[in-house]
Structure 1
Amino acid sequence: MATTTATHLAEATVPLQATSLTTGLAVRQAARNGTHHSPTFGLAPSYLQANLIVLPSRYASDFRILCARNPVPCPLIAESKSLGCWDAVKSWIDGVSDDGISRELDIRRDAPRYTVYKDSKLAKFECADIVEEWTEDHIAFFIGCSYSFESALCDAGLPPRHALLNCNVAMYRTNVPLCPAGVFTGGTYIVSMRPYKKKDIETVRDITRPYIATHGEPIAWGWDAVEKLGIKNIAEPDWGAAPLTMDGRSLSEVFGDDENVPVFWGCGVTPQEAVMRAGIEGTIMGHAPGHMLVLDCRDWDIVKQQ
């Protein structure tokens, strides 16, 4: 069987109407005009995807420190160019210019779906935009997303399971504490999980390791990692779709199987969870899990060829 390329995977696993969304700009425009509102896995192969968190300005400094102290689950790649700015960003990636991150941008409308918190409590889930909630006091932060290294996995013939099954990646709360920063205390890692054959895990680690700006290599793998991370039931993720075997069985039915080993990465939903744990005041916004902002920078902008 021929090796599965990222482009072929995108064509095979995303809805028919999304197969033309092959650039970051195309995905953003489709989200903005309401023609795409689904998770963004498989879209625009090789274009970076970003998790989004939007905060009142008084929390911005503490949040930057939180990201600096927790670079695996919270790799900061960009932020609003200025206070209240929703159409331009400042790059945090060495060698990538501000315009290189994204042009023709509307942070309020360019993710397929959003989440809104009021005083750290969920107020809206999977809403179409955050235009009404955005104020001149808000600052947006872009956090790297593990969807960004899936093109490389596909090109190596190791496509992630959730893409093959056309569902959102499974995400879980863990007991791994974040290093606190200012008001952000008590947070824990959120992880995304992709099952792989035991024999392929070292290759998967090698492929994803250079993607430091998008979580890098896994933080844990193996069936024993489920308990060590404090995950109560692998079949019941906190976000995303319940993980399945390729023949449609629950992953819990094959516990211990070397053909379906859970592999866990840091996840950019972590900052949203940290905000809720911190109990901060005001309106906070983010992407809905799996519904990323797709940018204009590419894989090779963050992983230099040897």
Structure 2
Amino acid sequence: MATQMTPVQLRQQIRSGEFVQNTSGLCAGFVQCNVAILPKAWAHEFLQFCQLNPKPCPVIAMAANPGDTFLSEIASDFDIRSDVPKYRIWRNGALVEEVTDITNIWRDDLVTFLLGCSFSFEEALLADGLEVRNISEQKNVPMYNTNIPCKPAGRFNGNMVVSMRPFSPKDAIRMIQICSRFPSVHGAPIHFGDPAAIGIDDINQPDYGDAVTIKQGEVPVFTACGVTPQAAIMSARPEFCITHSPGHMVVSDIPNSKLAIF
């Protein structure tokens, strides 16, 4: 199925409701994005939070005006109301619903943020011959809450969320080198080895996504994750907010190569 699908084809399937799965490993070569949509009254503080925490919250695109639904820098046909496989609806900091289309709840005061996603650098890892376990096992990447505090901005604060991919020590070093080329999609990992050192009690019980196999001799490698804003939103408790469901990303027409810094 979908590894050979183009971003346009995938977005068409998402828009029609045909595709509602996670997007890891799909549309190789193109940038994927996390989503946060907030009322205008909260947007400036959220942007400040992202600017202060660029590892977990790298801004790829932002709506020019409240109410904008089309972000042409992502794709000429992109519509934020229908082109995410699954959305989360938040009210007063609580998750109340997951849906596959937000057209009927869209508001003219909403501001869309698209943030870099680690799914983008997975392509570079695969091209270098590294196994990306969540792709080879056809699972959503495992994600964990940590004890690493983010820098607060106004009403937004909270701890970093990380994604995890296991590698042999040799491959982990290569993974760090490769990911360092892509700071706008989280860049180099923030930790590897002992999960307890960053507040993860059970590596086999992720807070989001699916557990993957960690083979004998492998070490878990942890990368800052774009689910971090959801933790900040839960703390800030805006009266209304929309995010992506973890692993269910915007797939853009932007080539990953445009994000590499060397």
- Paired residue for 2:213, among 233, 244, 257? 244
Cα distance in 1 for partners of 2:75, 2:229 equals 21
> What is the aligned partner in structure 2 of residue 252 from structure 1?
none
Q: Does 1:69 align with 2:56?
A: no
1:190 is the counterpart of 2:173: no
Partner of 1:101, secondary structure, is coil
- Counterpart of 1:123 in 2: which secondary structure? strand
1:103 partnered with 2:76: yes
- Give distance in 2, aligned partners of 1:111 and 1:279: 23
Determine which structure has more spread, i.e. the larger CA radius of gyration. Answer: 1
Q: 1:175 aligns with which of 147, 150, 169?
A: 147
Per the alignment, residue 50 of structure 1 pairs with 33
Aligned AA (2:226): G
Deviation, structure 1 residue 58:
0.4
Name the counterpart of 2:85.
112
SS of corresponding position for 2:144: strand
Residue equivalent to 1:290:
247
Quote the Cα distance in structure 2 between the aligned partners of 1:107 and 1:118.
19
For the residues of structure 2 that align with 1:68 and 1:128, how far apart are their CA atoms?
A: 29
Instruction: State the distance in 2 between where 1:20 and 1:266 align.
Output: 27
* Residue from 214, 220, 238 that aligns with 2:191: 220
Q: Does 1:208 align with 2:179?
A: yes
Per-residue deviation, residues 216-275 of structure 1 (Å, max 9, x unmatched): 0100001x2x011100110100010112246xxxxxxxxxx42x2100000000011100
Amino acid at match of 1:139: V
In structure 2, C-alpha distance between the alignment counterparts of 1:117 and 1:55, rounded to whole Å: 10
| TM-align CA RMSD | 1.3
Q: Distance in 2 between matches of 1:134 and 1:272?
A: 19
1:161 CA displacement: 0.4
What's the TM-score, normalizing by structure 2? 0.96
TM-score with structure 1 length normalisation?
A: 0.83
Task: Trace 1:247-266 onto structure 2 (pairs within 5 A).
Answer: 257-258=216-217, 260-266=218-224
- In the TM superposition, residue 280 of structure 1 has moved relative to its aligned partner by 2.2
How many Å separate the matches in 1 of 2:131 and 2:81? 31
Does the Cα contact within 8 Å between 2:19 and 2:85 map onto a contact in 1?
yes
Q: 2: distance between equivalents of 1:188 and 1:19?
A: 33
CA distance in 2, matches of 1:108, 1:293: 11
Percent of pairs identical after alignment?
Answer: 39
- Residue 103 of structure 2 aligns to a residue whose secondary structure is coil
**CA distance, structure 1, for counterparts of residue 45 and residue 22 of structure 2:** 29
- CA displacement at 1:299 relative to structure 2: 1.2
Contact 2:50 2:57 in 1 (8 A): yes
Equivalent AA in structure 2 for residue 298 of structure 1: P
SS in 2 for 1:43: coil
Q: CA offsets per residue over residues 108-148 of structure 1, 9 Å max, x none?
A: 110111111011111112x1111122100100100100000
**Equivalences, count:** 262
Alignment partner of 1:232 is 2:201: yes
Structure 2: segments with no counterpart, 5+ residues: none
For 1:191 and 1:277, how far apart are their aligned partners in 2? 17
Cα distance between partner residues in 1 of 2:37 and 2:255? 23
1:209 counterpart letter in structure 2: S
